[in-house]
Amino acid sequence: MSTQHNFLAVYLGSMSGEKMKAWHAMPEAERKAKEREGMAAWHGWVEKHKDVIVEMGGPLGKTRRIDGRGITEISNALTGFTVVRAASQEEAAKLFENHPHFAIFPGEAIEVMPVLPIPQM
């Protein structure tokens, strides 16, 4: 049996991108139908992969950046996250192929990265 590792998947999107503009240009009834289709597909994805989902995660709200100058409100492309378990990054990435985030909803992409161990002192 191969060793399993955790991978963070971050959902990316743009509020001003072409996909979002097209989404908002849709007639409301069509957009609502697409939302229902997308949520059903997303729940189906969760059900299919429930054995490897470590943390369901969820949508992300407004961002605050904290640095040496203080706290500021910023915008970025992060729209949500999920943590999955897989034997490799490639295997983890394949879990998200044709994901509803971008296949149905106006999301741009999903990025998958390993959660590395904290270095020991």
Task: Name all domains of the chain by residue range, CATH numbers in brackets.
Answer: 5-114 (3.30.70.1060)
Q: Which two tokens stand for residue 73?
A: 């409100």
Residue 3 scores a pLDDT above 60:
yes
The one-letter amino acid code at 82 reads T
Could you tell me if 107 and 19 are in contact, meaning their C-beta atoms sit under 8 angstroms apart?
Answer: yes
Q: Which phi and psi (to 5°) does residue 31 adopt?
A: -65, -40
Cα separation, 24 vs 90, in Å, equals 34
Q: List, for residues 33-90, the tens digit of each pLDDT value.
A: 999 999 999 999 999 999 999 999 999 999 999 999 999 999 999 999 999 999 999 9
Mean confidence (pLDDT) of the chain: 95
Per-residue model confidence (pLDDT) at position 28? 96
pTM attached to this predicted model: 0.91
The one-letter amino acid code at 105 reads F
Give mean pLDDT, residues 95-104: 97
Task: Mention every residue, 6+ apart, whose C-beta is less than 8 A from residue 10.
Answer: 78, 80, 81, 110, 111, 113
Residue 1 scores a pLDDT above 70:
no
